Structure 1
């Protein structure tokens, strides 16, 4: 399948030949569906916090965070192209009456945070045709919004001027991700072609926010590693080749960012999508729940470390407490094991990265959800499953999906060090059988592409997980430009 020139090409781009050959096998065999047992729900996999618990956990976090290095990790490399899908179509067709999305855009034009800049560049915007307005916003001859990452677009208006998502994440970081020395550590994953723009924006705005909030920002960037790209194949599962004969590799989705996360050194890592930000006036719920979930993470970790560092006198009692308090289930044959075997299993299951995941009530939004999934040892674990990972031809599984009460807004807080303070190798806790295959095309030819296990899906399959209900007010993603006209973004 691969000649010597191919092998040299694979090696020089930083990919691992054995991994590439495994990817070919995955194309041939496909990925198995997750064996979901039931949807997680309140009291059965999802924790619901009352006001007293919220306040206690916030107090725990604020008292214990002084000894921790805290970091906020924001995947921010995605271009905003899909955000403007309807506007791109309108620019092509130029028929305003045929596009409800374009009509809404034009009608609400003055309410967008980018309006003043757009009007300034166009001069007399009232006499400019609607398709020309949209084209100027999107095109590289204008404001380049159609090709820039969301992080750099003007999202929200303030008296002092518009604010980008990157800036909103800086402000969020001040309020829940500040280390004891007053430093706010943030890490953004960016695409190489936009790195200079990110750095320029940070250089422009960070000093003002530092002065306003009395903090110091430590902002770092990384790119998705080319070594994580996956091979593309044709419909016969043979390597897809470019016109010059070289093999085509493609970026492998957000699961590839596990390597970026693995490179970071922090005690507590907050993960949140770049477009899920709101103006200051409604950030309070976000701050409350971020701190509370982080407090829960620290308390869980403290209990885990105490067990791992000490002697387990009564493994049955410890296992029962872990299941009732943290939904951590032992293997199917646990009861029949010797005490020493039980102790070993408990320690093996506990000595893993930890994540606390916020879950919002299901309001019909697309996205993954929380499920109990059967493991190879007969136990069940809490996993975030995407629709594509569930066998919808199985009526029972489809009913579980349809009846699920919560979904995943990508609201994670992670602990990636063990009880000795050493970083886990996160790649060892990924389930490689949870990737995705999709159909694409290039140069007029069909191809099949592969995504690695999603960052908060299979990439964290063997982490210890807690799901906590968070209010819908903490979930306000911007998927289309007209989402910015919603009250939550005004």
Structure 2
């Protein structure tokens, strides 16, 4: 690939090596590599089910142990709210109350979420604010038809002279209306973390945000700090980071040549949430809770979520303790054969790493398999929600392990692979607890445990022209492919994402 001096300067400004850009172009030419799923992970075969007695035991174990560990909650929060309000933007652009009735418009779209929005609009946390602003901006509001009022309300919710909610980061959209205040997802994450991430009276959280949004989050924190700290009785340490420009990826055209903007510059795109492995790698804490910004509950439903978070963390700490003990024994040497058998059984039966090989270097093999970052992932019964799923996956070396796989990674043209995918009983709600340090207290370099072949090519556009974009291996997909993984079933009540504005009308987002 012949890059001009101008190209090389542009690449260097992003702190990307030229050969890395060439490798990315090679991935486009190679195409997506589909994974080889051997089985869907199910209860008893990759996913464990915890009964009430064991759950209580794990919660107690975590409560007693957490003061001895450094803990942080990591929340990917760079997403904008624009997708959440997509149906409202379409309505704002296309509905004319002088030509159509609202009922006719809703019938024509067939959008049940939009219908629910208008049927229950008064229950939205920002309704009263929007109504007040609409009347301030439109003196004729009380004299126009009901359908025309809906149009004005939607304009007020979306546009700059109103609430401008779709321009906010999703984490700062009003989510829940309580008797005395309205809470954003950002605030609910703080309250949640106070219940399981607090150590010595302090809860640490780290939010990855879009550049330009950090000040908005900091302003929100200044507004709510007194209320949140008074309610929880603890202090908060809040950190922020951006997706590093060096994780951006080159885009190409249909001929696999670098895509160029109208002024002739190379076009780079953010590498997807998989690029956040860099942000995660910068953390110095031992134990990290990971959860998406839009998956929160109201305060009255919080205890159930907290209990299951502690249960997952208890499982992590217990498993980690066992792994560290095994590693210490292996490093001392002269391990009895019955102990080696025990360790091998643990690797196969609890970590689900199958096809153990390299018998000539058996001890070194076991050390390698045990000495890795560890994650315990909550899995929810599949009830039609979108999201990746848990599978047993065979890699190119013939080894089978537990992985979280997205639909786009599965070869649905292969009947056997498609059938296996349909057998999935659970999906990934991004409810993860991680251990990022080894048995000597040293941080893992997380880049070493990424499967780069799980990158994904997607078709996009720029300035009306088609292009191919490269997304790095997803944070909890290929980004953690070489971690040790445990899947545990958690109840669907712990998963309450807000993908559209109408999701705020669900019972789980309506404070009692």
Same fold per superposition (TM over 0.5) = yes
**Residues 84, 481 of structure 1: 8 Å contact kept:** yes
- Would you say 1:12 and 2:13 are equivalent positions? yes
1:306: which partner in 2? 325
Which of residues 154, 171, 181 in structure 1 aligns to 2:191? 171
Matches of 1:328 and 1:297, distance apart in 2: 17
2:379: which partner in 1? 359
Q: Deviations over 1:380-415 (max 9, x none)?
A: 000000000000001111011111100000111011
SS at match of 1:123: helix
How far apart are 1:329 and its partner, in Å? 3.0
How far apart are 1:330 and its partner, in Å? 5.0
Compute the TM-score of the two structures, normalised by the length of structure 1: 0.96
Unaligned runs of 5+ in 2: 97-101
SS at match of 1:46: strand
**Residues 258, 426 of structure 1: 8 Å contact kept:** yes
**Residues 250, 449 of structure 1: 8 Å contact kept:** yes
- Aligned structure 1 segments of 4 or more residues deviating by more than 3 angstroms: 100-103, 124-128
1:289: which partner in 2? 308
Number of residue equivalences: 484
**Residues 271, 412 of structure 1: 8 Å contact kept:** yes
Unaligned runs of 5+ in 1: none
2:341: which partner in 1? 316
- Would you say 1:326 and 2:351 are equivalent positions? yes
How far apart are 1:141 and its partner, in Å? 2.6
**Residues 240, 447 of structure 1: 8 Å contact kept:** yes
Provide the alpha-carbon RMSD of the alignment. 1.4
Q: Deviations over 1:273-310 (max 9, x none)?
A: 01111101112221111001000100111111111112
Which runs of structure 2 are paired with 1:151-170 in the superposition (5 Å)?
Answer: 151-170=171-190
**Residues 70, 266 of structure 1: 8 Å contact kept:** yes
2:162: which partner in 1? 142
How far apart are 1:372 and its partner, in Å? 0.3
Q: Deviations over 1:25-68 (max 9, x none)?
A: 00111121001111001111001000011001001101111110
1:438: which partner in 2? 458
- Would you say 1:390 and 2:410 are equivalent positions? yes
Which runs of structure 2 are paired with 1:372-451 in the superposition (5 Å)?
Answer: 372-451=392-471
**Residues 430, 453 of structure 1: 8 Å contact kept:** yes
**Residues 134, 152 of structure 2: 8 Å contact kept:** no
- Would you say 1:111 and 2:111 are equivalent positions? no
Matches of 2:34 and 2:105, distance apart in 1: 40
**Residues 230, 450 of structure 1: 8 Å contact kept:** yes
Which region of structure 1 is more displaced relative to structure 2, 133-142 or 22-31?
Answer: 133-142
SS at match of 2:239: strand
2:99: which partner in 1? none
SS at match of 1:378: coil
**Residues 319, 330 of structure 1: 8 Å contact kept:** no
Matches of 1:109 and 1:317, distance apart in 2: 59
Q: Deviations over 1:68-114 (max 9, x none)?
A: 01100000110011111111100011153313444432321210111
The alpha-carbon distance between structure 1 residues 56 and 94, as it changes in their structure 2 partners (threshold 3 A), is same
Q: Deviations over 1:300-330 (max 9, x none)?
A: 1111111111233222332013322332335
Which runs of structure 2 are paired with 1:25-104 in the superposition (5 Å)?
Answer: 25-95=26-96, 96=102, 97-99=104-106, 100=111, 101-104=113-116
Matches of 1:361 and 1:389, distance apart in 2: 21
**Residues 387, 406 of structure 2: 8 Å contact kept:** yes
